[in-house]
Amino acid sequence: MAKIKGAVVVNKERCKGCELCVVACPSKVLALQPAEVNDRGYHYAFMQNPDACIGCASCGLVCPDGCITVYKVKL
């Protein structure tokens, strides 16, 4: 079985830091920036643990603001 690897890009300025992607990720890839905020004052999401990403798109699906783009490769 081919191994799958993924990566996501979060639109930092669009993100509202709702945390829904964080809890939806099966691989605990994502987290909210603990201190830094974007221009609108939100602690935005980022890949804290990028290696674990399997490109399942769960984060993208649940993001209400359409901030997440997901990429996937089969190795």
Partner 1 sequence: MKEEIIIAGFGGQGVLSMGKILAYSGLMEDKEVTWMPSYGPEQRGGTANVTVILSDERISSPVLNSFDVAVILNQPSLEKFENKVKPGGILIYDGYGIHHPPTRTDIEVYRINAMEAAIEMNNTKALNMIVLGGLLKLKPMVSMENVLKGLKKSLPERHHHLIPMNEQAILKGMEIIRKA
Partner 2 sequence: MYMDINDIIKPENLVYTKPRLMNDNPMHYCPGCSHGVVHKLIAEVIDEMGIEEETIGIAPVGCAVFAYNYIDIDWIEAAHGRAPAIATAVKRLNPKKMVFTYQGDGDLAAIGTAETIHACNRGENIVIIFINNGIYGMTGGQMAPTTLEGMKTSTCPYGRNVALNGYPLRIAELVERVDGTCYVTRQSVHTPASIRKAKKAIRHAFENAMAGKGTSMIEIVSTCNSGWKMTPVKANQWMEENMFAKYPMGDLKNV
Question: Does 18 participate in binding ligand SF4 (rule CB under 6 A)?
Answer: yes
Judged by CB under 8 A, the residue of 10, 29, 46, 60 near partner 2 is: 60
Residue 65 DSSP code: T
Judged by CB under 8 A, the residue of 1, 2, 34, 64 near partner 2 is: 64
Site for partner 2 in 8-27 (CB under 8 A): 9, 14, 16-20, 23-24
**Spatial contact of 73 and 2, defined as CB atoms under 8 Å apart:** no
Alpha helices in the chain (DSSP H): 20-24, 58-62
CB of 27 to ligand SF4, least distance (A): 4
